[in-house]
């Protein structure tokens, strides 16, 4: 049950704006932060149900400024790989209890921060690679799985796309079209699994204006705001929320 009180909106509004800014301006890598934040006050499955329609709204709003600027072969490879990844996640979702989902979402959040800090300190290097469809599909499997479980498909997709040495705008456009397709793939099984409810859809109606605001800000921020500043805040948020979710799952 969702209680539409001050606590819910105090967490949900900035989380959705933040996710939309990431998705429309910074390669989607931090867009999944909304789900861990909402999972602090909602059942994890309900948090996923609230966030997905809003992410799909951001997808649609983001398509126009990046239309046809993507690297089509990379997007196709990731989307093809995402199909078995989503199928695997559907199976896991049906046997997982809420605490397992909290643990998975928390672990993915902390893992994302550890990976990004490792890159920043030079401990993890992503060397440029020639385009290989099989490699893109392999990362697509991971992206599809993590996207279904916690809307966290951005990081594995980013690893592959960074290795392709794409320009900033081509990278962003490729993530936009890729996750527009992956989110459509997720929506149907979410509906059959009962992830969407009347309450999650009502929450989406309340939060939709903030998703659109974040989309507009993200397109502007893509050109104006240093990525380091944006992701520094992301790391702090995900470390705190991921740690809290893991703690709640284990106690």
Q: Is 20 exposed, middle or buried (0-12, 13-18, 19+ CB in 10 A)?
A: buried
Distance CA 114, CA 108 (A): 10
Q: 29-43, 86-100, 132-146, 219-233: which has the minimum mean pLDDT?
A: 219-233
CA Rg value for the chain: 17
Q: Which residue has the tokens 């509906």?
A: 191
- Average per-residue pLDDT for the chain: 82
Task: For residue 9, give Cα distances in angstroms to 14, 16, 24, 43, 207.
Answer: 8, 10, 22, 16, 9
Q: Where are the domains of the chain?
A: 6-250
pLDDT in tens, 199-219: 999 999 999 999 999 888 877
Per-residue pLDDT at 190:
92
pLDDT (mean) for 139-146: 89
C-alpha count within 13 angstroms, C-beta hemisphere, residue 234:
30
Q: Count the Cβ atoms, other than its own, within 10 Å of residue 52.
A: 22
Q: Which residue has the higher pLDDT, 78 or 225?
A: 78
- Note whether 26 and 162 are within 8 A (CB): no
Residue 63: pLDDT band with limits 50, 70, 90: confident
């Amino acid at each position: 049950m969702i209680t539409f009180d001050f606590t819910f909106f105090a967490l949900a509004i900035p989380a959705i704006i933040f996710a939309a800014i990431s998705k429309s301006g910074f390669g989607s890598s931090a867009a999944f932060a909304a789900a861990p934040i909402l999972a602090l006050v909602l059942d994890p499955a309900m948090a996923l149900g609230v966030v997905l329609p809003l992410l799909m709204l951001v997808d649609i709003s983001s398509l126009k400024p990046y239309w046809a600027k993507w690297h089509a072969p990379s997007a196709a490879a990731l989307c093809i790989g995402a199909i078995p990844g989503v199928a695997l996640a559907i199976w896991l979702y049906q046997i997982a209890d809420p605490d397992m989902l909290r643990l998975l979402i928390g672990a993915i959040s902390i893992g994302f921060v550890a990976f990004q800090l490792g890159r920043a300190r030079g401990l993890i290097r992503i060397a440029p690679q020639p385009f290989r469809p099989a490699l893109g599909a392999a990362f697509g499997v991971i992206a599809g799985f993590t996207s279904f479980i916690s809307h966290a498909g951005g990081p594995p997709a980013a690893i592959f796309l960074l290795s392709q040495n794409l320009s900033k705008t081509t990278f962003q456009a490729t993530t936009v079209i890729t996750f527009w397709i992956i989110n459509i793939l997720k929506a149907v099984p979410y509906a059959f699994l009962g992830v969407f409810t009347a309450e999650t859809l009502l929450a989406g109606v309340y939060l939709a204006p903030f998703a659109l605001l974040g989309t507009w800000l993200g397109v502007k921020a893509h050109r104006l705001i240093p990525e380091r500043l944006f992701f520094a805040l992301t790391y702090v948020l995900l470390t705190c929320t991921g740690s809290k979710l893991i703690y709640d799952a284990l106690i």
